[in-house]
Structure 1
C-alpha cells in the first residue's frame, strides 16, 4: 500500500515511530524545524529499554502573550504513545495548520511522552506501576475500591496463562454481579494494591508534578485553553472517539466541548462512551493549575484491533507482579501483543488517526482564535 501523505507531501508513516527513542528524536527534530521553543524534562534516575535518556519533551509555538492555548499531549499511558507521538510530529510538519494557528493567535503546546518510562518499556503504567489517568487526585482522599480487593488475585494469578478454574471463577463473579460491575471494580482505579491493575498510587507521580509545572508555566495568563489528549485501545479500529475530559457532571463544560468538536463528543460520566469514567485523569489538572482560564478538553481515543484491552493488560501486569517467572520468549510475546493492542502498524490506520487529529486541531484553532 502506498503511504498516505500530509498536505505538505510528507508521508504519514514518516511521522510515526517503532520505539520511544525514535519517537523522541523525530519529535525534537520536527519541533526544531518548526521553530518551537523546546524544553526537556528528564527522568535522571531512570533509563529506557535501550539505555536511552527518558524525557518528557515540551514544544511551544506561538507568542507567550497569546491569550489562547491549544495543548496536544501524548503517552499518558506509555505504550499508547506511538499514536500520539505520530500525531504530534504530523502537526509540527503541517505548515498550513501552523500558519492557521499563528493567524488565529493561538499558541500551541505539545507535550510529548507524559509517561516516558511506560512508552520506552512498553508498559501502560509508569515506573512505579501507577496509571497516570488515576493519579491526579486529592491524596488526602485516596481512591478506595473495595470491590477490586476480591478480584486482585483472580486477575493476576501466580500461573500464566491462567487455569480453567481461574477463568471459571471470573465468569462466576460476572454472572453474580454483572459485566458492568466487574469492569467498574477492575478499571475504576485503586490505591491499595501497588502491584495491581489500574493503581492510582498514594502520592503524586513524577509525571504528575512535571505536568502541573508545565501547565503553570505555559498556562498562566491564558484566557482560553483547549486540550486534546491522545489515547488508543478502545472502540472501532481507526475511529477516534471524542471523550469529554472535563470534571464529571459539568454539563456547561460538556456543551462547550461540543461547540468546539461537535455533537459527537461523549461523556464517560454520562455512560455514553466506550471508556468508563475514571477518577484522577491528567487533563483535569488544568482546572486547578490554570483557574483563570476557560478550559476544555477531550481525550481522543482511537480504536485499534478488535481485542479485549483487559486481556492484554493482565499478562503484562502478571510480568510485573511475578518478575523472573516468565521465560524470555514469553516476555517478548507478551510485550509484542501489548504493543499491537495499542498501536496498529499500518498506513491506513496511521492515515485515519492523523487525519482525525488534524480535524480536531483545526476545530480548536478556529474556536479559540480571534
Structure 2
C-alpha cells in the first residue's frame, strides 16, 4: 500500500480508515460522540484505539486534530501505523493509544477551532482563576480580525501584520496573534470561557486509560508552521525542565517556544500541559510534532479569513468556498511528496518514543 493511501480527503473518510485499520490490527475501539453535526449532517466523534496489554506500564499516545483542519496529517500517520504492520511490533509491557480527531467538528468543517470557535490548544487554563491577558491582541485586534472582509482588506491588514512582525522584537506580533486570547469569541486563537467538549473528552480518556501507568509518551500532530514538510519537535518548557530535558534526550533535536528556538510563539493553555496535569505521579514525556505547509503569511491569512467567514460571512457563497479551499491548503498539502515527508518523520518520531519507553 502506498503511503499516500493512508491519508484522506475529508473527516468521514479519515474516520472510516482509522476504525478499519485499528480493527484489522487487533486494536479495541471506543467512540465519543460530539453533540454537533458535520457539514453534510453526519455524526461526529472522537475515536480511540488501544493496542497492547490493558495493564501495560508504558503507553505511547498519539493524537490528531487538536486543531481540526490539521487532522489530515495526524490521521494519516495513525492509519499508516496500523496498516503498515508496525503496530504489531510493540515492545513487551507496552501499549499504544491512538486518539483520532480529538476535535472532530473542526476536522469536518475544516476549521482549526471547535464548535464554539475555541482553540483547544488554548483551552487548558484554570477558568476559576483570572485568565491570561494578551495585550498585543487587544491592541491590534482591528487589524487581526476586521469585521469586514474583501481581497483589498485582506491584503491591507496582512501587509500591516507583516510590517509589525518585521519591526517588533522576534515573535512579539506572532504572539499577539497566536499565543491565545480570552476576550473576543469571534476572533482567532480564542481560548473560551469554560472547558470544551474536546477537553472534557480528553480528560475522560486520560482518567480511564492513563492515570495508572508508570510512563506515558505523547505525540500531538500539528501543521502550519515551519518549512514545508519538515516536522519540528516542540517540547514543553525548556532546558532545565525535567520533562523537556527527558524529551530532548529521547529525540535530540527539540525546540521550545519558551526560549525562542521554536517557530511557535509561547502559548497559553496548551493541551499537552493540561494532559500532564491530569496524570500526577506518571512520568510523562510529550511533544507537539509541527509540520510546515505554506509561508506564515498565508497561514495567518487562512486563520483570519476563516474566523471572519464563520462569524460574519456566508459559507455557501463563492467567497466562502474560496476561503475554505485556502484554509484546507494552509493546513493540509494534498501532495504526494508532502505526505511522504509527514509519514517518514512521524514513524521515526514514534519508533524513537517506543524504544525509549521500553528502556
TM bucket (normalised to shorter chain) is over 0.9
Answering whether residue 16 of structure 2 is matched by residue 28 of structure 1, we say no
Answering whether residue 150 of structure 2 is matched by residue 127 of structure 1, we say no
CA distance in 1, matches of 2:41, 2:280: 39
Query: Map of 1:181-260 to 2, 5 A cutoff?
Result: 181-244=172-235, 246-247=236-237, 251-260=241-250
Answering whether residue 92 of structure 2 is matched by residue 94 of structure 1, we say no
Unaligned runs of 5+ in 2: none
Paired residue for 1:11?
Answer: 2
Question: For 1:118-151, what per-residue CA distance to the aligned partner results, in whole angstroms no more than 9, with x for missing partners?
Answer: 0000101001000111001111231211221122
CA distance in 1, matches of 2:217, 2:166: 42
Deviates more, 1:228-237 or 1:157-166: 157-166
Paired residue for 1:118?
Answer: 106
Answering whether residue 336 of structure 2 is matched by residue 347 of structure 1, we say yes
Question: For 1:279-320, what per-residue CA distance to the aligned partner results, in whole angstroms no more than 9, with x for missing partners?
Answer: 111111222211121001010111113352112211111112
Answer yes or no: is the 8 Å Cα contact 1:225–1:294 preserved in 2: yes
CA distance in 2, matches of 1:80, 1:322: 23
Answer yes or no: is the 8 Å Cα contact 1:230–1:299 preserved in 2: yes
Question: For 1:242-271, what per-residue CA distance to the aligned partner results, in whole angstroms no more than 9, with x for missing partners?
Answer: 000x3467522211001212x211111111
Paired residue for 1:161?
Answer: 151
Paired residue for 2:313?
Answer: 323
Answer yes or no: is the 8 Å Cα contact 1:100–1:365 preserved in 2: no
Seen in structure 2, the aligned counterparts of structure 1 residues 220 and 168 have a Cα distance that, compared at 3 Å, is closer
Answer yes or no: is the 8 Å Cα contact 2:227–2:293 preserved in 1: yes
Answer yes or no: is the 8 Å Cα contact 2:222–2:291 preserved in 1: yes
CA distance in 2, matches of 1:167, 1:361: 37
Question: For 1:18-53, what per-residue CA distance to the aligned partner results, in whole angstroms no more than 9, with x for missing partners?
Answer: 00000001001111111111100001x311112111
Q: 2:264 aligns with which of 275, 284, 299?
A: 275
Tell me the TM-score normalised to structure 2 length: 0.94
Tell me the TM-score normalised to structure 1 length: 0.91
Note the aligned Cα RMSD (angstroms). Answer: 1.9
CA distance in 2, matches of 1:167, 1:188: 18
